[in-house]
Amino acid sequence: MVNINIICVGKIKEKYIKMGMEEFLKRMNLYAKVKIVELKEDGNDSDRERSIERESSEIIKMAEKHKGFNVLLDIGGKKLSSEEMAKEIEKITVRGMSTINFIIGGSYGVSDEVRRISGLRLSFSDMTFPHQLMRLILLEQVYRWFSILGNSKYHK
């Protein structure tokens, strides 16, 4: 079974996002073990670079703890269709990686070091999404990717 870690900065506050996430986490039990790793948000408006460094340092620690293939959600990353990303997941697991870490940085972004430790930088869109909502979108897509790989009706 594949282990999926979603390493993210900050906590979910909105109830409707929590409910949506719970639904996809429940569905994912068929395909993978999913863990949400929430890191403390620094959010220091007066020193954004310092916030990025602090949050990025914690992201790197968690990625190292959960040794696996790191996928950074990054607006400047590669754009893939759901089918293409499902194939990427398959390639990752065929290469023997049983853990995939999806990384969602804080509102100010991540350090270059986080980009360097990422085997794939993935962009969902040129648009900017709230980080909390992005977690729900990511969980839905992870479920979709595994549904594609499992030939489930969900994707159709």
Are 68 and 103 a contacting pair, CB within 8 Å? no
Residue range(s) defining the domain that contains residue 144? 2-155
62 and 33 in contact (C-beta within 8 Å)?
A: no
Spatial separation of the C-alpha atoms in residues 101 and 28, rounded to whole Å: 15
- Residues placed in the known binding site for S-adenosyl-L-methionine: 73, 105, 124-129
Binding site feature residues: 73, 105, 124-129
Q: What is the DSSP secondary-structure string of the chain?
A: -EEEEEEEES----HHHHHHHHHHHHHHTTTEEEEEEEE-----TT-HHHHHHHHHHHHHHHHHHT-SEEEEEEEEEEE--HHHHHHHHHHHHHTT--EEEEEE-BTTB--HHHHHT-SEEEES-SS---HHHHHHHHHHHHHHHHHHHTT-GGG-
Q: How many domains does the chain have?
A: 1
Instruction: Write out the chain's pLDDT in tens, 156 residues.
Output: 899 999 999 999 999 999 999 999 999 999 999 999 999 998 777 889 999 999 999 999 999 999 999 999 999 999 999 999 999 999 999 999 999 999 999 989 999 999 999 999 999 999 988 888 999 999 999 999 999 999 998 866
pTM of the model: 0.95
CATH code, domain with 75: 3.40.1280.10
